[in-house]
Amino acid sequence: MSNDTNTARSFARLRDGCVEIERLICADPQRPTLVFLHEGLGSITQWRQYPAQLASRTRCSALIYSRFGYGRSDPVRLPRPLHYMHDEAFVLCELLERTGIPDHILVGHSDGGTIALLYAARAAVPGLLGVITEAAHVFCEPKTVAAIERARADYTAGELRTALVRHHGTNTDNAFLGWCDAWLDPAFRDWDIRAELHSIRVPVLALQGADDAYGTELQLDAICQQAGAGADICVLPQCGHSPHRDQRESTLDAMAAFVSRLVDPHA
């Protein structure tokens, strides 16, 4: 990060417990805060340096957090309800109120992107300027289910679990099973939030890798067609489910340009 940005890791106490947060504070208080929402198996640490790099490029502050059941945040009771991503949109609202963040732009990856869209679709979202999603899901596809079944096999074999323990510690089973068991529930095949996207009243940038193992470009098409304020879409070649890792520079360029249009429209 540049010298005018400070980093602070702490916990935010919410109604249902404590969530782990990290704040990157920019010296310019007039600029919005980028709020990062991790993927279904993610956490603060799995973003690595990407939030700091995007914050530096855009001269914005950032808030990164691990949702309940992830990282060092408090665990959740399993099984998760099939509407868990709707529930997380309410948690995000409470977190932003508790941390006193005014103007903000959401940056969500996979499940985090879906939660960002659901948050934006709420009736009143004061301070929200825009939404950026990577590999967000807005309905359940067979390709997604097949990929999660493979992840479950990898987890059972032990290799994936070992990799996740570094980020989630004692929350590892909570994180994986909460995500996996919800998506693989037969009732989840009917999960579909496309109709809710009409309520979004802020600009959206939706990115997806051309080689995403967890979804097809039909997700992007749906976001573009249904988002109430319209959406820009970006398909990144030679890129899997994590554009900010697989195509870091192209993803930084696209996100920074979008933020600039929102924050510096006359630049």
Half-sphere exposure of 110 (CA within 13 A, CB side): 21
- Structurally, at CATH architecture level, domain 5-263 sits in 3-Layer(aba) Sandwich (3.40)
Residue-wise pLDDT tens digits, 191-204: 999 999 999 999 99
Average pLDDT across each block of 10 residues of the chain; the chain has 267 residues. List them in order.
60 97 89 97 97 96 98 97 97 96 97 98 90 98 98 97 98 98 98 97 97 98 95 97 98 97 83
Per-residue pLDDT at 1: 40
Q: What pLDDT score was predicted for residue 260? A: 96
Q: What are the φ and ψ backbone dihedral angles of 234, each rounded to 5 degrees?
A: -145, 120
Given this model, what pLDDT does residue 158 score? 95
What percent helix, strand, coil does the chain show, rounded to 5?
A: 45, 20, 35
> What does the alpha-carbon distance between residue 222 and residue 207 come to, in Å, rounded to a whole number?
13
188 within 8 A of 136, measured Cβ to Cβ: no
CA 32 to chain centre: 17
Q: Which residues, including other chains, have CB under 8 Å from residue 46's CB and lie 6 or more apart?
A: 38, 39, 167
Query: Taking the domains of the chain in order of start, what are their residue ranges?
Result: 5-263
Q: Which two tokens stand for residue 235?
A: 């398909």
